Copies of this chain bind each other. A is one copy, B any other.
Amino acid sequence: MSSPKIKKLVLLGTGLISGSFALALKRARLVDHVVGVGRNAANLNRAIDLRVIDVANHDAAQAVQGADLVFLGTPVGQMGALMAQIAPHLAADCIVTDGGSTKQDVCELYRQYLPQQLATCVPGHPIAGSDLSGASAATYGLYEGRRTVLTPLAETSAGALETVRALWQACGAIVYEMDAQTHDGVFASVSHVPHLVSFAYMNAVLSKDNAEQCLDFAGTGFRDFTRIAGSHPEMWRDITLANHQAILHDLKANVAQMQRLIGLIEAKNADDLTDYINQASQARSAWGKKRANK
């Protein structure tokens, strides 16, 4: 299809994810005017300075009037209230999409707060992260070669879906479609649980009497393993609670794996321990080769 042209894009929440989306669409000349909404005036001013947005507005209801695309870029926990605020002010054909990391709960929010708008609601999840946040972290190339998953509602129109797909493709993203439940299981497994395990590990180190000495000798393995432990607390609280079912299942599977490993070490079972490590190592090396990004 031909590239969609957006006259007015409104970012509800002006940060890394929404700001990088706006920058990429501006560069592709697919958007004329970007309004940034947020609660932090300094962050919004910075977004204007960096040309991530054209104007700032503290009032979501006012901002969305006349918009043809609204992007929800806040933590998932804030999306329901924002949807409620904007619902009476949306044009009938205004497309609403989001960048939330969980999708079953966001789909529920669309149903609850925008029941008249479902044909133009396109739940989405751009898979590009950073431990940085805020508008000043937004970059043109964040989505280049990265994946975006769309989890359309049964009511989502083919036209709205295709428009959002085309916009993400214009950002350089590779677009996938799956149902929200599959999405949540996959991302619990390879994104949410690693974050939580990394938080738990950091707290285990901090509980040691000589935590400071330990951290002083931490090297590159620790650095990479814990990079995600530096992530945004409120965002990860929201993701964790939103996707609690899939997360709890996988966290318990991780505890079971660690208990198995403890058993092998206590039994000094060298052969099974080698097999155990080898299975993980082979799979990780194969993954790294496939991605060619180690």
Residue from B182, B205, B230, B256 within 8 A of A288 (CB atoms):
B230
* Chain copies in the assembled complex: 2
Interface residues on A, range: 35 or more
Q: Does A124 contact B (CB under 8 A)?
A: no
Chain B residues within an 8 Å CB radius of A285 = 131, 230
A279 and B129 in contact, given A190-B214, A223-B293 (Cβ under 8 angstroms): no
A143 CB to nearest B CB, Å: 12
Instruction: Please tell me if the beta carbons of A280 and B191 are within 8 angstroms of each other in the complex.
Output: no
Q: Does A2 contact B (CB under 8 A)?
A: no
A129 and B219 in contact, given A234-B274, A241-B268, A279-B206 (Cβ under 8 angstroms): yes
Residue from B186, B196, B215, B261 within 8 A of A213 (CB atoms):
B186
Chain A 222-246 per-residue mask, 1 if CB under 8 angstroms from chain B, else 0: 1111111111111011001100100
Q: Does A128 contact B (CB under 8 A)?
A: yes
Chain B residues within an 8 Å CB radius of A227 = 221, 224-225, 284, 288, 294
Chain B residue with Cβ nearest A214: B189
Chain B residue with Cβ nearest A194: B225
Stretch at the interface among A38-46, A50-58, A103-111, A247-255: A247-255
Q: Does A134 contact B (CB under 8 A)?
A: no
Q: Does A262 contact B (CB under 8 A)?
A: yes
How many angstroms between the C-alpha atoms of A202 and B225 in the bound complex? 13
**29 pairs, CB–CB < 8 Å, chain A vs chain B:** A127-B219, A147-B219, A149-B217, A189-B208, A189-B214, A190-B214, A190-B219, A193-B204, A194-B221, A196-B261, A202-B284, A207-B253, A207-B257, A223-B288, A223-B293, A223-B294, A225-B227, A229-B284, A230-B281, A230-B284, A233-B281, A237-B270, A237-B277, A244-B268, A248-B262, A248-B265, A251-B265, A254-B258, A255-B255
Known: A221-B227, A258-B258. 15 other contacts (CB 8 A): A127-B219, A191-B221, A197-B201, A200-B280, A204-B250, A204-B253, A204-B257, A205-B283, A218-B287, A225-B227, A229-B283, A233-B278, A236-B277, A237-B274, A248-B265
